[in-house]
Amino acid sequence: MAKKKASGGAPAINIGINDKDRGAIAGGLSKLLADTYTLYLTTHNFHWNVTGPMFNTLHTMFMTQYTELWNAVDPIAERIRSLGHPAPGSYAQFGALATVPDAPTTPPKALEMVKILVEGHEAVARTARSIFPLADAAGDEPTADLLTQRLTVHEQTAWMLRSLLEE
Ligand SMILES: [Fe+2]
């Protein structure tokens, strides 16, 4: 049976993962991209707006964290492209896809910021974990590897932030 042609005369994608699985994995990764971008923006926002006696510690810590998140969005988007799907990249799309809530309009107190970020990293970890069964079943090792890396970062960052809230 002849393979469907992609647009522009390029041959149809044929990497050994069927169309349905590629679509499902790309859909999951689109949610992960939206969550990661939203958490990036909230963390940068908190870097700008944090106040109080922990200013120096949190201002610096948030910079490390938003830089890591900023660097993470690119490999996630490019994995979606490698699976043959368009990567979402607008505030409207991210707003519709994200499970992480948008940053509060009024800057919260420093420790409330930390709590919001703990919950954000945990939410992104849950999104990443939910894609694993799809990637596993399809034999999609590059996506599984990416998810493993993201889970490691989000769970470690959630622990570090959570530790600031413990006595
Ligand atoms: Fe800065």
What digits encode the pLDDT tens for the residues 22-75? 999 999 999 999 999 999 999 999 999 999 999 999 999 999 999 999 999 999
Distance 60 CA to ligand 1 centre (A): 8
Residue 128: the pLDDT is 98
Residue 7: the pLDDT is 61
Distance 164 CA to ligand 1 centre (A): 21
Residue 9: the pLDDT is 86
Distance 124 CA to ligand 1 centre (A): 24
Tell me the C-alpha distance between 33 and 127, whole Å.
10
Question: What does the mean pLDDT of the chain come to?
Answer: 95
Distance 62 CA to ligand 1 centre (A): 9
Tell me the C-alpha distance between 150 and 137, whole Å.
19
Give residues with Cβ within 8 angstroms of 53, minimum separation 6.
none
Over residues 111-135, the mean pLDDT reads 98
Distance 63 CA to ligand 1 centre (A): 7
Residue 1 pLDDT grade (very low, low, confident, very high; cuts 50, 70, 90): very low
Distance 45 CA to ligand 1 centre (A): 10
Q: Provide the whole-model pTM.
A: 0.94
Distance 31 CA to ligand 1 centre (A): 27
Q: Which residue has the higher pLDDT, 65 or 4?
A: 65
Distance 27 CA to ligand 1 centre (A): 33
Per-residue CA distances from 132 to 45, 85, 122, 128 (Å): 30, 18, 16, 7
Distance 121 CA to ligand 1 centre (A): 21
pLDDT digits (tens, 9 = 90+) for 150-166: 999 999 999 999 999 99
Residue 139: the pLDDT is 97
All domains of the chain in start order, with CATH: 17-165 (1.20.1260.10)
Over residues 90-115, the mean pLDDT reads 98
Distance 48 CA to ligand 1 centre (A): 7
Say what angle helices 141-165 and 19-49 make with each other, to 10 degrees. Answer: 30
Per-residue CA distances from 120 to 5, 16, 70 (Å): 41, 34, 15
